[in-house]
Structure 1
Amino acid sequence: MDTRGAATNVSYNIDYNVLEVVENEEKYIGLVEFIVDVKAKIKKAILFKVSLKMEGVFIGNAKKLDFKHFNDLLELNGIALYLI
């Protein structure tokens, strides 16, 4: 297929998941997964696909914030990863 001069269509899908939250007397530990999928096409042919998953761990002091607040911050940090 001759692709010279053809427009390339690039699409992105960005998402995150909170994979796990562990609570004990001293701290909360949250695991967040950040997902990026990129696909480039020329006409109907796929030029390339890239799928990237990164994980981040967040720790909060259970004596200074409650569990709900920690979960809210975990979600906020998951969303903030979009801006990087």
Structure 2
Amino acid sequence: MKTSNILANFQFVDNKVIDFSIQNSLLKSKDIAIKVDFDMDYEIVSCRQTETSHIGIVDFIVEITGNAEGKGSYKVYLKMRGLFIGSKNNLSIDKFEKMLEVNGTATLSQISRAYIISVTSLSGMHTINLPMVNIYSMKKNKDNSKVEASH
């Protein structure tokens, strides 16, 4: 099937790493038990219209801490930025912004996952594989946090 017939109205254009750091005090971490905590979030950096399309930027943020009791710890921080466009003819700006939150975040989560797998496996530490997350639940929790903060 020709992709021109099934092309989505929301498209990923590009991504880049905005911020990244690793702190690691573990040696020979392959055979030791490590308690790993993951924290993930996203931020809509911009969402605007041009004459022909919608343009949006999303940041996906990952913070990972690992602790091997008495043997050391590590921290990994990543902020991945993505650029997305949408059809102005087929999407309202509100619908596009919702797609940025869900589709954009989902796209960046998988790119971030691959990046962290690659970097950690090349950094002399055990490979960190981000868990898959429910983006709808992430959005709902974020929305609930905003409501609670406003009260």
Please classify the TM superposition score into its range, dividing by the shorter chain length: 0.7 to 0.9
- Please tell me the root mean square deviation across aligned C-alpha atoms, in Å: 2.5
Q: How many residues align?
A: 82
Structure scoring higher RCO (CA < 8 A, sep ≥ 6) equals: 1
What residue identity is the alignment partner of 2:42? Y
Q: Which has the higher helix share?
A: 2
The answer on whether the counterparts of 2:82 and 2:108 sit within 8 Å (CA) in structure 1 is no
Structure 2 residue 56 is the aligned partner of structure 1 residue 49: no
In structure 1, stretches of 5+ residues that fail to align are: none
Moved over 6 A (4+): none
Q: Which has the higher strand share?
A: 1
Distance 2:36 2:72 in 1: 10
TM-score (norm 2): 0.47
Structure 1 equivalent of residue 100 of structure 2: 74
Structure 2 residue 61 is the aligned partner of structure 1 residue 35: yes
Cα 1:46–1:64, aligned 2, differ >3 Å: closer, same or farther?
same
TM-score (norm 1): 0.78
Structure 2 residue 39 is the aligned partner of structure 1 residue 18: no
Distance 2:102 2:32 in 1: 40
Distance 1:11 1:35 in 2: 14
Question: How many percent of aligned residue pairs carry the same amino acid?
Answer: 34
